[in-house]
């Protein structure tokens, strides 16, 4: 984040992360004096003067002016499509092709080390790319907001701009069509239905099998570890419906924009649509696949430790620090069996805690108008992104079952409340209404069979909103009372009104 902030001219230094009892907290670090926590702003006149006279602010203002004028997002998207993504995909496949069972202990330990180094590199790339995709989307939202167009309407013009979001669903529908009238009960039986079914399934697993699908951490599950769920999803898959491509919404919104600003609207919308697919393809390709690959390698480490009575479960390999894997695997020196079990129990206990959303004092944010022009526009854009992604928390003044609607047609179904993707996989039936605090790409597979989705957190640009828009299912996001809905209750999700009604 420090790198991308400097490249784009953000009036910020970085974003830092700290962990407390296993939970991650982040803090946005100011450009100047970032190590000091403040609970009271200096006089605004002083801030205004400092932002114009301090060398770092003056340098950032020049960079921001250039970035706003040149709009670097499209160039990064072109690099993503032609250079960055093909390289990452090739490296993912090379790691996935390694036969772990054929490696001796030293080679397996070296493989884990290489994967961890790769994951660090990809994590850096992941967040750097987000600077270039969220920026244009937030600029579009900031513009439409300034024109008096509600964000939930403005983002309707972004529908259909993320084909990678629905691509897995399309691939599974092809597998289902190749199965025909057969009713396989295992993936091996599915392969035997036809040569085409076998080819399509194996191609899908080669591309996506090592991707984490239930959470972001190493103890999430990869797609290949969920054969029954994958089979169930394939057999429920149907032909892809034609969904909104955003044209109608864009035309309606444009008609409400003054003629003198229509070109600006067109440019901002085009840039936002261009970066949408990179935003949604980034996570699965750049982060979730490398994490999944490291998980599978560590599980092989764990199985070897279990075979030597050095661990009680293969998953206890996740409790090892990065510098403990090699000595424990190759020489037997390191944490004992009981120590690994203790670490696992401690982490499991932490996961059951109900942590506060924030730690420490709330740091006030200076108003954007104290900054010089380019930095003020940048600050407004960042604020728009945070609000519309739902990262500033829900609107507690609203009714608990009211939020931002996605779609136009009300949907009725049974509530399936889940705390994690694993719970959702276990409980969901086709057509159920998924109710969660928030979604991530880990929920993509389960959302493909949901009739609707309701989240307690999030905004019009949150993951749940984007995916619902692309899949053509009803959603209400940011309804802070959603988790109070009784599991199994019949509800109506009315996206036009942004309301969930218990029937």
Contact 428, 449 (CB under 8 A): yes
Indicate the helix (H) or strand (E) that contains 408. Answer: none
Of 281, 317, 58, 75, which is closest to residue 168 (Cα–Cα)? Answer: 281
Contact 269, 250 (CB under 8 A): yes
Flag whether pLDDT at 398 surpasses 70: no
Distances (CA, A) of 477 to 166, 230, 406, 502: 20, 27, 8, 16
Distance between CA atoms of residues 4 and 217, nearest Å: 24
CA angle 348, 350, 353 (to 5 degrees): 120
Chain position carrying tokens 């100047």: 32
Flag whether pLDDT at 175 surpasses 60: yes
Distance between CA atoms of residues 2 and 15, nearest Å: 7
Tokens of 423: 């719970």
Of 432, 430, 425, which is closest to residue 493 (Cα–Cα)? Answer: 432
Dihedral over Cα of 266, 250, 404, 418: its sign: negative
Tokens of 20: 């407390």
Model pLDDT for residues 121-134, shown as the tens digit of each residue: 999 999 999 989 88
Flag whether pLDDT at 179 surpasses 60: yes
Model pLDDT for residues 428-445, shown as the tens digit of each residue: 888 999 999 888 766 777
Of 485, 129, 479, which is closest to residue 495 (Cα–Cα)? Answer: 479
3-state helix, strand and coil shares in percent for the chain, rounded to the nearest 5:
55, 10, 30
Q: How many CB atoms lie within 10 A of CB 35?
A: 8
Partners of 415 in the β-ladder: 433
Flag whether pLDDT at 365 surpasses 90: no
Question: Which residues, including other chains, have CB under 8 Å from residue 333's CB and lie 6 or more apart?
Answer: 327
Q: How many CB atoms lie within 10 A of CB 90?
A: 9
Tokens of 311: 């661990």
Partners of 414 in the β-ladder: 490
- How confident is the model at residue 211, as a pLDDT? 92
Q: Which residue has the higher pLDDT, 241 or 5?
A: 5
Flag whether pLDDT at 368 surpasses 90: no
Model pLDDT for residues 7-40, shown as the tens digit of each residue: 999 888 998 899 999 898 988 888 888 778 788 8
- When pLDDT is averaged across residues 374-381 and rounded to a whole number, the result is 84
The SS3 call for residue 222 is strand
Indicate the helix (H) or strand (E) that contains 147. Answer: none
Distance between CA atoms of residues 291 and 299, nearest Å: 12
Burial state string for 370-389 with b = 16 or more CB within 10 A and e = fewer than 16: bbbebbbbbbbbbebbbbbb
Tokens of 22: 């296993």
Partners of 26 in the β-ladder: 17
Chain position carrying tokens 């250079």: 83
Model pLDDT for residues 32-85, shown as the tens digit of each residue: 887 787 888 889 898 899 889 999 999 999 999 999 888 899 899 999 999 999
**Band of pLDDT at residue 242, cut at 50, 70 and 90:** low
- How confident is the model at residue 257, as a pLDDT? 93
Give the whole-number percent of the chain exceeding pLDDT 90: 56
Contact 1, 127 (CB under 8 A): yes
Looking at domain 404-502, which of 3.40.50.300, 2.102.10.10, 3.50.30.10, 3.30.310.50 is its CATH number?
3.50.30.10
Distance between CA atoms of residues 134 and 381, nearest Å: 9
- How confident is the model at residue 394, as a pLDDT? 52
DSSP tag of 402 = B
Every domain of the chain and the residues it spans: 1-70+358-392, 163-236, 404-502
- The crossing angle, in degrees rounded to 10, of helices 262-282 and 105-146 is 160
Distance between CA atoms of residues 458 and 475, nearest Å: 11
Partners of 474 in the β-ladder: 452
Flag whether pLDDT at 397 surpasses 70: no
């Amino acid at each position: 984040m420090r790198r991308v902030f400097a490249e784009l001219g953000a009036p910020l230094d970085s974003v830092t992360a700290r962990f407390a009892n296993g939970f991650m907290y982040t803090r946005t670090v100011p450009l100047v004096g970032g190590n000091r926590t403040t609970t009271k702003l200096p006089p605004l006149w002083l801030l205004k003067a400092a932002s114009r006279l301090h060398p770092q602010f003056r340098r950032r203002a020049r960079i921001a002016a250039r970035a706003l004028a040149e709009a670097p997002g499209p160039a990064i998207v072109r690099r993503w499509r032609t250079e960055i993504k093909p390289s990452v995909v090739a490296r993912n496949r090379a790691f996935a092709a390694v036969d772990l069972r054929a490696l001796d202990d030293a080679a397996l330990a070296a493989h884990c080390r290489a994967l961890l180094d790769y994951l660090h590199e990809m994590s850096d790339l992941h967040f750097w790319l987000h600077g270039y995709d969220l920026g244009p989307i937030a600029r579009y939202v900031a513009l439409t907001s300034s024109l008096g167009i509600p964000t939930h309407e403005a983002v309707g013009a972004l529908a259909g701009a993320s084909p990678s979001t629905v691509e897995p669903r399309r691939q599974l529908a092809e597998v289902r069509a190749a199965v025909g009238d057969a009713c396989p009960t295992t993936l091996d039986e599915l392969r035997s239905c036809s040569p085409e079914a076998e080819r399509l399934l194996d191609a899908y697993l080669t591309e996506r099998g090592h991707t984490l699908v239930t959470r972001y951490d190493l103890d999430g599950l990869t797609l290949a570890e969920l054969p029954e769920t994958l089979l169930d999803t394939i057999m429920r898959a149907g032909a892809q419906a034609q969904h909104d491509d955003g044209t109608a919404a864009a035309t309606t919104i444009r008609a409400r924009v003054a003629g003198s600003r229509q070109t600006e609207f067109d440019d901002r919308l085009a840039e936002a649509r261009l970066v949408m697919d990179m935003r949604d393809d980034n996570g699965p390709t750049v982060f979730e696949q490398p994490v999944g690959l490291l998980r599978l390698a560590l599980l092989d480490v764990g199985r070897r430790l279990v075979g030597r009575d050095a661990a009680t479960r293969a998953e206890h390999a996740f409790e090892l620090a990065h510098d403990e894997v090699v000595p424990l695997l190759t020489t037997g020196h390191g944490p004992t069996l009981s120590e690994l079990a203790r670490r696992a129990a401690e982490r499991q206990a932490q996961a059951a805690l109900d942590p506060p959303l924030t730690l420490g004092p709330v740091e006030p944010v200076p108003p954007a108008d104290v900054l010089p022009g380019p930095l003020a526009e940048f600050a407004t854009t960042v604020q728009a992104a945070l609000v519309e992604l739902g990262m500033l928390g829900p609107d507690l003044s609203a009714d608990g079952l009211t939020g931002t609607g996605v779609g136009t047609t009300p949907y009725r179904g049974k509530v399936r409340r889940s705390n994690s993707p694993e719970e959702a996989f276990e409980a969901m039936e086709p057509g159920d209404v998924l109710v969660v605090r928030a979604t991530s790409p880990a929920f993509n597979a389960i959302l493909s069979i949901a009739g609707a989705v309701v989240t307690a957190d999030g905004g019009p640009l949150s993951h749940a909103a984007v995916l619902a828009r692309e899949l053509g299912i009803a959603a209400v996001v940011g309804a802070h009372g959603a988790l109070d809905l009784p599991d199994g209750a019949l509800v109506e999700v009315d996206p036009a009104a942004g309301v969930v009604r218990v029937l």
